[in-house]
Structure 1
Amino acid sequence: MRLPRWRPVWWRPRVQCLLCGAMADQADLPLCPGCDDDLPWLAGHCAICALPLPVAGLTCGQCLHRAPAFHRVETPLRYGFPVDALITRFKHQSSAPFGRLLAQLLARHLRHAFDERLERPDVLIPVPLSRQRERLRGFNQAALLAGWLADPLGLPVDNRLLRRVQDTPAQQGLDAATRKRNLRHAFAVADGAQVEGRHLALVDDVLTTGATAQFIARALHKAGARRVDVYCLARTPAPE
């Protein structure tokens, strides 16, 4: 019979950083301190839509002109190198470890925000993907992210509350007006969904123009939701 290997009480397994290969300090986060520090963390940003701004605590002109249907966007990162490459590999090359790493960073950000009195939602809702695109990709990245967030945040996930009722072209590379036209009738609240009076949090990978979140939040409010927040991995800067 093989005896278990003895280890000191303080011993814990170490993992390699996914970005540079160095040893990570935390066994449950495959990121070394140097790479952690060098990520494009979101500093100054709009207090509502998280658009990167030069100064913290401001509201961007678009949100001042017309407040969005969602209450608040929470995201830890700007969409820039190397986060853009990690999200691309996660979504389009099925590199789940990169998606899980980014989800861990988002969970860390949200736990801190909850400690700072951000209101906790009742449930996480992944943005649904069209059936055709999900079949081609093999998974819905938003559903995976919501599942990875559920345990560390202690929140349930509802994959059936929202339906994608209309397939639309890929949003990447489209301007704001075209995105809005594409999404006008793309989403619906499922029949019998428990929405009335609830605080819901949409989960997605990147917020660009906010058109997807806007149309979904509007539908959820129409169905009786009390508050809709958006949790995403990264926020794109304003176009030049």
Structure 2
Amino acid sequence: MSAPAAVCGQCLRHPPAFDRSFTGFCYRAPADQLILALKFGHRTALAGWLGQQLFDAIPAHYWQDDAPDCLIPVPLSKQRLQQRGFNQALEIARPLSRLSGVELWPDAILRLRDTAPQASLPLRERRQNLQHAFGWRAEQGVLPAGRHIALVDDVMTSGMTLHEIATMLKLNGARRVSVLLAARTPSPGDAL
């Protein structure tokens, strides 16, 4: 029998809409430099390694007992996608899909509007920045209803982006939403 999952104080006070999360790394040196090199240095080969590390960090029973029906990368705004030339969450999701055998739905979620980068905003403004920013792409041909959906992203800081997407998915009937992250910023008080 495994130990119960740890839940941070912030999640206890304000539970996120997603059901569970798995993280490959804590977002601090040296992992932070790898993700920055991927995102801003266009070192897309790092995405394969990050996807492998994330896969290795997720307990095998997750993929066996209640595997998600699909992996969906967190979408970028059109403007950010044009500037960067790729979506780092999609690049991490590709090897994760291959390794897990879970189908990748790269275009199932869309950004309905551009938003300010979350990292540039104070915590209290992040939720408002993302309200109604995401939608389900109806022409995908399938609905989230009854499905276990796993969202894939590079880094989670406050969790507001993932919370908003999970909220939208659950409003559309998703049974469960998991979050699979290459890295997560440390919570205040985490041991360094």
TM-score (norm 1): 0.72
Number of the residue aligned with 1:17: none
Number of the residue aligned with 1:188: 135
CA drift of 1:118 comes to 5.8
Q: State the SS of the aligned residue for 1:232.
A: strand
Alignment of 1:200-211 (within 5 A): 200-211=149-160
Between the two proteins, the alignment pairs up a number of residues equal to 184
**Structure 1: where are the runs of 5+ without partners?**
1-46, 48-56
Number of the residue aligned with 1:213: 162
- Give the partner amino acid of 1:188: G
CA drift of 1:239 comes to 4.2
Q: 1:88 to 1:118 in 2, by over 3 A?
A: farther
- Give the partner amino acid of 1:102: L
- Give the partner amino acid of 2:160: A
Deviations 1:65-114 (A, max 9, x none): 23211000111211110110110000011101222211110111225353
Q: State the SS of the aligned residue for 1:188.
A: strand
- Give the partner amino acid of 2:159: G
Q: 1:238 to 1:111 in 2, by over 3 A?
A: closer
**Structure 2: where are the runs of 5+ without partners?**
none
Match of 1:228 among 177, 180, 185: 177
* Distance (Å, rounded) in 1 between the aligned partners of 2:65 and 2:9: 23
Number of the residue aligned with 1:64: 12
Please list every run of at least 4 consecutive aligned residues from structure 1 whose deviation after the TM superposition is greater than 6 angstroms. Answer: none
Alignment of 1:137-216 (within 5 A): 137-191=84-138, 193-216=142-165
Number of the residue aligned with 2:26: 78
More strand by share: 2
- Give the partner amino acid of 2:79: Q
CA contact (8 A) 1:196 1:223 kept: yes
CA drift of 1:196 comes to 0.9
What is the percentage of aligned positions where both structures have the same residue? 42
Larger Rg: 1
Aligned residues: CA RMSD:
1.8
CA contact (8 A) 1:111 1:153 kept: no
Alignment of 1:71-150 (within 5 A): 71-110=19-58, 112-114=60-62, 119-150=66-97
More helix by share: 2
Q: State the SS of the aligned residue for 1:100.
A: helix
* Distance (Å, rounded) in 1 between the aligned partners of 2:148 and 2:185: 25
Q: State the SS of the aligned residue for 1:103.
A: helix
* Distance (Å, rounded) in 2 between the aligned partners of 1:129 and 1:239: 27
TM-score (norm 2): 0.89
* Distance (Å, rounded) in 2 between the aligned partners of 1:198 and 1:132: 30
* Distance (Å, rounded) in 1 between the aligned partners of 2:176 and 2:78: 28
